[in-house]
Chains A and B, each alone.
Chain A
């Protein structure tokens, strides 16, 4: 009976361990995906907004045509820019780990 209890405890701990590892893998993957997503979003907005600030990435009229559909993202970008004083800190945070 005691042996059974010990085994059950070990098994539960093992399951918790596997679940933890799984969660860690998921979180790691999600943060990697989020990083790629944010980078792509920034690249996309730079390409679209470039012509309006003097960077000739594409035609200004194409940018203006797209602007309406990107209203919310532009607002997010602007708020990010306001918070963007600690650029180095942001970069280190996005890379993860201890710095």
Chain B
């Protein structure tokens, strides 16, 4: 039987975050469960699913999303609902907005916070917010993330870089404002107040997003696992993810997973043999470690089914 942990090394960072990426339906949740179960032998592991289909609830027979549920000794799981978290995040600020803009209460403030939940980028914000707190989480040795759809995940991974760019501009303006205030007050002989809460907050935010950006590109703190199927569209998405990781984060995935590989006779019978062969050839030519998981006639429906898949995993390229 293969050792998945060896394929993810180095995994020193505490917590070490494993992000499982891939097109919807390729088997991200199953792969995440497999990896989490392996990692939990080394230390306390939390599997968090952002999967909008919430498959994990079914696999692990969990009825309550959002809570951290113990699956076995050191294996914990939590299903997050991005929409609910977005609502929580934006409603947190509603009282502040009502305090600052009392005139808005005439226009029904509730509507404004409701609309904010659907504002472009809020889902990515929620994911990033969660991710940045995950790197600070000292309760777990490993955190495995079953990511939301690829578009949201990639945009989220891009956000720290973008935020730092914005924050840098805001800090430049703010520093100029504070220095002007200082010069004016000094010149006129007024009392000078050097500390500025907004500038302090901006520095804090720069540090926070800087830490996330650094952690994302550090292989000892973050492992990327990309899952695909022997079909054109999942392969296309795999290539896109690889391109993104290389170009934007200057990193590469630790492990590539080709899931649902049809046995040869079935592939021939279905007329998919040639296509599957070509895709697998391309997959095996990709750099880095990779594994293959065969297609199972009964799709896994519970934890045991998924853990049994481990016996069928073959290593294409090892450490």
Give A contacts to B, CB under 8 Å. Answer: 26, 29-30, 33-34, 36-37, 40-41, 43-44, 47-48, 51-52, 56, 58-62, 64-71, 73-75, 78
Q: Nearest Cβ distance between residue A54 and chain B, in whole angstroms?
A: 9
Residues on B with beta carbons closer than 8 Å to the beta carbon of A40: 173, 176-177, 180
Contact A37 B89 (CB under 8 A): no
Q: Which residue of chain B is the closest to A68 with respect to CB atoms?
A: B96
Q: B188 contacts A30, CB within 8 Å?
A: yes
List residues of chain B with CB within 8 A of the CB of A44. Answer: 170, 173-174, 177
A68: chain B residues at CB < 8 Å are: 96, 201
The reply on B286 being an interface residue by CB < 8 A is: no
User: What are the residues of chain B within 8 A of A26 when measuring CB–CB?
Assistant: 187
Query: For B202, what are the chain A residues with a Cβ–Cβ distance below 8 Å?
Result: 66
Q: Give the contacting residue for A69; candidates B119, B129, B177, B201; CB below 8 A.
A: B201
Q: Is B246 close to A, CB under 8 A?
A: no
Once the chains bind, are A59 and B187 in contact (CB under 8 Å)? no
User: Nearest Cβ in chain A — how far from B92, in angstroms?
Assistant: 8
Q: Is the CB of B100 within 8 A of A74?
A: yes
Chain A nearest CB, measured from B156 CB (Å):
12
Counting CB contacts under 8 A, is B130 at the interface?
A: no
Within the complex, the shortest CB–CB distance from B47 to chain A, in Å, comes to 25
Contact assessment for B119 and A60 in the assembled complex, using a CB-CB cutoff below 8 Å: yes
State whether the Cβ of B181 lies closer than 8 Å to any Cβ in chain A.
yes
Nearest first, the 3 closest Cβ-Cβ pairs linking A and B are A69-B197, A69-B201, A37-B180
Q: How far is the CB of A13 from chain B (nearest CB, A)?
A: 25
**Residue B319 is within 8 A (CB to CB) of chain A in the complex:** no
Is B68 in contact with chain A by the CB < 8 A criterion? no
Report how many residues on chain B are interfacial, defined by Cβ distance under 8 Å: 38
Please judge, given known A-B contacts A66-B201, A68-B96, whether A60 and B116 are in contact too, CB under 8 Å. Answer: yes
With contacts A29-B187, A75-B100 known, is A64 near B180, CB below 8 A?
no
**Cβ-based interface call for B97 (8 A):** yes
B184 in contact (CB, < 8 A): yes
Choice from B97, B174, B184, B205 contacting A65 with Cβ under 8 Å: B205
* B177 near A62: Cβ-Cβ < 8 Å: no
- B147-172 toward A: CB 8 Å interface, digit per residue (1/0)? 00000000000010011001101100
The one of B101, B122, B200, B205 in contact with A60, judged by C-beta atoms closer than 8 angstroms, is: B122
Q: Does B232 touch A at the CB level, under 8 Å?
A: no
B198 at the interface (CB under 8 A from A): yes
| Closest chain A residue to B199, Cβ basis | A69
Partner of A62, one of B97, B100, B166, B200: B166
Residues of chain B within 8 A (CB-CB) of A29 are 187
B218 at interface (Cβ–Cβ under 8 A)?
no
Chain B residues lying within 8 Å of A78, measured Cβ to Cβ, are 101
B177 touches A41 (CB 8 A): yes
User: Of the candidates A34, A58, A59, A73, which one forms a contact with B184 in the assembled complex, judged by CB atoms under 8 Å apart?
Assistant: A34
Q: How far is the CA of A58 from the CA of B93 in the complex (A)?
A: 17
B25 in contact (CB, < 8 A): no
Q: Kindly state the separation between the CA atoms of A65 and B167 in the bound complex, as whole angstroms.
A: 12
- Tell me which residues across on chain B come within 8 A of A71, comparing CB atoms: 99-100
Contacts of B188 in A (CB 8 A): 30
Q: A48's contact among B99, B116, B170, B197, by CB below 8 Å, is which?
A: B170
Kindly state whether residue B52 has any CB partner on chain A within 8 Å.
no
CB distance from A53 to the nearest CB of B (A): 10
Given known A29-B187, A61-B89, A74-B100, contact A69–B181 (CB-CB < 8 A): no
Contacts of A30 in B (CB 8 A): 184, 187-188
